[in-house]
Structure 1
Amino acid sequence: MFTLGAQGLKILLQLLSVVTLSRLLTPHDYGLIAIVLVIIGIGEIFRDFGLTSASVQAPELSDGQRDNLFWINTGIGVVLGTVMFFLAWPVQEFMGDPELIAIIRVLSVTFLLNGLTTQYRAQLMRALRFRSIAGIDIAAATVALGSAIMAALLGAGYWALVLQQIANSTVLLAGAVIAGRWAPRWYSRRHEIRSFIRFGWNLVAANLLSYGGKQVDTLIVAGRFGTTSLGLYNRSYQLIMSTFSQIRSPLSDVAIPVMSRVQRDEDRFNSYVISGQIALGYGLGIPIALVAGLADPVVRIMLGPQWMQAVPYMRLFCGATLMSTLAFVGYWVYVSRGLGSQLFRYSLVEVGIRVACVTAGSFFGMLGVAVGVFVEPLLSWSLSIYWLSRITPIPVKALWLGGFRIVGLTATVTCVSWLTSLAIQAGVWLTLLAGIGAGLAGALIFLVLPVYRRDARELVGFIRLMIRRERTS
């Protein structure tokens, strides 16, 4: 609960960033940074090498093993930073934008900063020090946003976004070192880490496949429609999918270490899986549904009238985010049970589905690409439950029925809020508030059904359980 509260503050900061920087910068600026962040995202998967999850999931971890993992992550960060520095020229040649050279070379330093941070943060997660993690994240987001706004006001253009990335990584490192309170000793062969590398490699392969699949749409839009179109597409994508993923990711920091501890208690483990889907599905699904129904006033308020072309993309991304959220609990199961190789094989199929959907959609323009992004998780959610049921005991029926209930409620919320926005011919803020009120009222009506009242009790019980865990820790 503390993690969720802190993440709420981070989301407010991100929304403030969207509102402010979207009015100070251009779609071209965002398009340039989006290209570079794709490269950084691929490198970050290798830089982490799955060793964060490996060290968190391990039943036992000695100080020597922790120190060795620190130096491995740092060394990988140095290598990747060097590689990215020299990749600047070929990337610029491919995209045809000279500004990319300096951007890529400056942002290459983030690999070193993040490599130094990795094991400090992993040890905080392992110790369930969620207060410290949340405080560090909020401080980093605040400093980064303040730096970017100041630079944008001074006319720095896309360099404001570059500064935002550098400032965020720097503060994350400083905060993790201060909170961690340990100094790594030199690498020693006496402390065996092969099992961590083996687990990490499988996770790297799975995450790389997943990330590559998720960036197919960005690469297609950049290659076929240019950086300005990419900026429009990427801004709507970031506003929806990245914002809500910022809630899911910190929840993984809580769920994975907790589920790893109870993995031998099947009943308790399954209870966490069911409750996790309900918490994610309703907790994120209702806000997502409201944004989908009220995309028009949301874009006018958050981005400004010059971004109104983003409305249909946002609605499709809302649907994609909801369905991927329902499937996200499966990722917790894979990692907490140490099923790295099985996750890799599943990711191969999932990425194949996404590539096929997005590629087919691209023949119908940018909107077709967004439709492909929406269709993929519709198919992958069903596959995820079936795949997991074949390799580990999970409550299949409860997950299926719970997912359908969540989809039914959120679809109703979207329709009610959208129809309300069409009926209200008034100012943008009044339209937004009326749509939110009507959508929430539509959600409350479902409580007349016993099955939804049971879900509500399950959700309240999950919240109380998290509060008790926080107090006892």
Structure 2
Amino acid sequence: MKERVGDNIRSGMFWTFMERIGTKIVQFALQLLLARILVPEDYGLCALLLAFINIATVLVNSGLNTALIQKKNADSLDFSSVLYLSLGISIAIYVLLFFISPLIAEFFNDTRLCELMRVLSITLVIGAFNSVQLTVLYRKMQFRKLFIANLSGMIVSAVISIGLALMGYGVWSIVIQYLVNRIVITITLFFLVRWIPMLEFSWIRIKSLFNFGWKCMASTFLSTIVTDIYTAVVGKFYTKAQLGTYDTGNKIPSTVSETFTSSLGSVLFPAFSKIQDDIPKLRGLVVKSNKVSSFLIAPIMLALLATAHPLVTILLTEKWIGAVPFLQMACVLYAFYPLHVANIQAINAIGKSGTALNCEIQKKIVDLGFLALMVHFSIYWVALGRVLTSIISLWINMRPNVKFLQYKVQSQIRDVMPTFMIAILMCAAMCSVNLMQFVNTYVELIVKLIIGGIVYFGLSYIFNRKTMLYVFKIVMKKNN
């Protein structure tokens, strides 16, 4: 059983990572191209729109999708009931957003938000059906199909978006990209998954799933709404151009980290759920997850921090140089994300969604406290507040697993400490290059990356060899 779960995780991680990295590469390339055509204000407008859409998406899902994955004997009646309820909620929220969009536009002093909101909100209805398709794939751990669908959606929508941007449609090119992407993914999965809902509905099944799912929904809702409150506050207190640079600086490290972290979470939750009654095995998987994810993400984040200035100059041009400090602070924040994910997914997998909700409430109180304090200083202090919150939140997420998994906080820190110490030394070595004079930023970037690679892998081989060899073994192993 343990070997089969391990094989599923390795195979799932491979295809999920391929899906994430494939779509993120296309998405990142799209962002770079659009950033050269559009202006920071366009990205600021889009960030405000997505703040509302993200919150609405959580309400549409209602945590029932997570409950379906966690439920051992879910059947067609469960899936069909969740679909019809999600569709009903999505339509209701769309109608609400349609009518309040003028008020949103008035609040942020930009009439363009009204029509943009009404069009982008259509993704909620499409996403309701798509979310159940994804749940079917996650339960069966058929991540190869997800890879095909998401990559197809991203490529088609990217081509259309670039064309619209070149024709001068501005922020509309970003909005249409999101809409087309969701449509293509849903259509593709319809043929790949071949799941058709039954004409049946059960409130009893919904209530049963909701008993678990509402806590997951509340946790996700709190996380989403606080993140989007940051966006709304920055958009209200500062200019939309400042919001654009703040959001773009955050997106580069978040794209990299969440590519891996979301892949990890998508695979770990169903895998953890399968062995939820075997605490020693579950603890062992969490230990391996922490070590492997930190070994991969920590050096990438700190390398991005060290190369932020030349990277932004090369990829986004000088007009985006204001995004550099936000990028650097976000790199510190996202370096810890895989540890957050492993701990929370383990808590949910053993059915302790109430504990996960309590953790989320505590974290968001801290988060909003820092926001209320920092917003009165400057936008840079707002970004710094998010970093400090992330560090405190990590301790909050780790603490319950002292009881549930007998995995102490100090043990978790000790497991990843060698990786983080080596990554910090690597970053310091890369930053020391700033004292040198270079012909151009391309040479500076290349030299920093070479030095970083030599230092990180050299020190890892000496001081963290066991973890390094284990990661290489996973990477080299053939996946089915």
TM-score (norm 1): 0.94
1:62 to partner: Cα distance? 1.2
The corresponding residue for 1:333 is 346
Distance 2:39 2:285 in 1: 44
Q: Residue 165 in 1 paired to residue 181 in 2? A: no
Q: 1:399-434: per-residue Cα shift (whole Å, max 9, x none)?
A: 121232232122122222222244241222211111
In structure 2, the CA distance between the partners of 1:313 and 1:189, relative to structure 1 (3 Å rule), is closer
8 Å contact 1:15–1:302 — kept in the other structure?
no
Q: SS in structure 1 opposite 2:239?
A: helix
Equivalent-residue separation in structure 1 for 2:280 and 2:202 (angstroms): 40
- Report the alpha carbon displacement of residue 49 of structure 1 after superposing the two structures with TM: 1.0
* Matching residue within 36, 43, 60 for 2:56: 43
C-alpha displacement of 1:110: 0.6
Equivalent residue for 2:471, pick from 437, 451, 459:
459
Displacement of 1:72 in angstroms is 1.4
Does the C-alpha gap of structure 1 residues 326 and 421 become closer, same or farther in structure 2, counting only changes over 3 Å?
Answer: farther
Deviation, 1:448, is: 4.9
Structure 1 residues not aligned, in runs of 5+? none
**Any idea what the Cα deviations from partners look like across 1:204-229, whole Å, max 9, x if unmatched?**
11111111222232122111112121
Partner of residue 3, structure 2: none
Q: Secondary structure at the match of 1:192?
A: helix
Note if 1:441 corresponds to 2:454.
yes
Distance 1:184 1:350 in 2: 38
Residue 462 (structure 1) shift: 4.9
Which residues of 2 match residues 93-104 of structure 1 at below 5 A? 93-104=106-117
Describe the SS at the equivalent of 1:171.
helix
Deviations 1:302-355 (A, max 9, x none): 211111111111110100111233322112112222211111111011011111
Task: Write out aligned runs for 1:149-160 (5 A).
Answer: 149-160=162-173
Q: Does 1:367 align with 2:380?
A: yes
Percent identity of the aligned residues?
20
SS of 2:238's partner is: helix
Q: Residue 174 of structure 1 aligns with which residue? A: 187
When the two chains are superposed, the root-mean-square deviation of aligned CA atoms in Å is 1.8
1:300 equivalent in alignment to 2:335? no
Q: Is the 8 A contact 1:24 1:152 kept in 2?
A: yes
Does residue 186 of structure 1 match 2:199? Answer: yes
Residue aligned with 2:235, SS: helix
Deviation at 1:74, TM superposition (A): 1.5
Cα-to-partner distance string for 1:49-72 (whole Å, 9 max, x where unaligned):
112211111111111111111111
Q: Is residue 2:248 matched to residue 1:250?
A: no
Residue of 285, 303, 318 corresponding to 1:290: 303
Which is further off, 441-450 or 123-132?
A: 441-450
TM-score when normalising by structure 2: 0.93
Measured against aligned partners, the alpha-carbon deviations of 1:107-154 in whole angstroms (never above 9, x if no partner) come to 111110000111111001111101001111111111121111110011
Is residue 275–residue 459 contact of structure 1 (8 Å, CA) maintained in 2?
no
After superposition, residues 49-448 of structure 1 pair within 5 angstroms as: 49-189=62-202, 192-394=205-407, 396-448=409-461
Superimposed CA distance per residue, residues 235-279 of structure 1 (whole angstroms, 9 cap, x where no aligned partner) = 111222244213311221111111111222222211210111122
Task: Tell me how far apart the structure 2 counterparts of residues 106 and 273 of structure 1 sit (CA, whole Å).
Answer: 42
Question: Could you tell me which residue of structure 1 aligns to residue 6 of structure 2?
Answer: none
SS in 1 for 2:351: coil
Offset of 1:374 from its aligned partner?
1.1
Distance in 2 separating the partners of 1:15 and 1:192? 41
Deviates more, 1:125-134 or 1:236-245: 236-245
Q: What one-letter code is carried by the residue in structure 1 that aligns with 2:374?
A: G
Contact 1:244 1:284 in 2 (8 A): yes
What is the CA distance between 1:392 and its match in structure 2? 4.5
- Structure 2: unaligned runs, 5 residues or longer: 1-13
Question: What letter is aligned with 2:272?
Answer: M
Whether the 8 Å CA contact 1:417–1:438 is kept in 2: the answer is yes
* Whole-angstrom distance in 1 between the partners of 2:197 and 2:19: 29
Contact kept? 1:64, 1:191, Cα under 8 Å: no
SS of match in other structure, 1:115: helix
Taking the aligned partners of 1:163 and 1:147, their CA distance within structure 2 comes to 8
Structure 1 residues 68 and 426: alpha-carbon distance in aligned structure 2, compared to 1, 3 A threshold: same
Residue type matched to 1:32 in 2?
L
Give the drift of 1:441.
1.1
**Aligned AA (1:373):** R
Helix, strand or coil for the counterpart of 1:183? Answer: coil
Name which of structure 1's ranges 250-259 and 144-153 shifts more when overlaid on structure 2. 250-259
> How far off its partner does 1:13 sit?
1.1
Greater shift in the superposed pair: 341-350 or 232-241? 232-241
Match for residue 11 of structure 2?
A: none
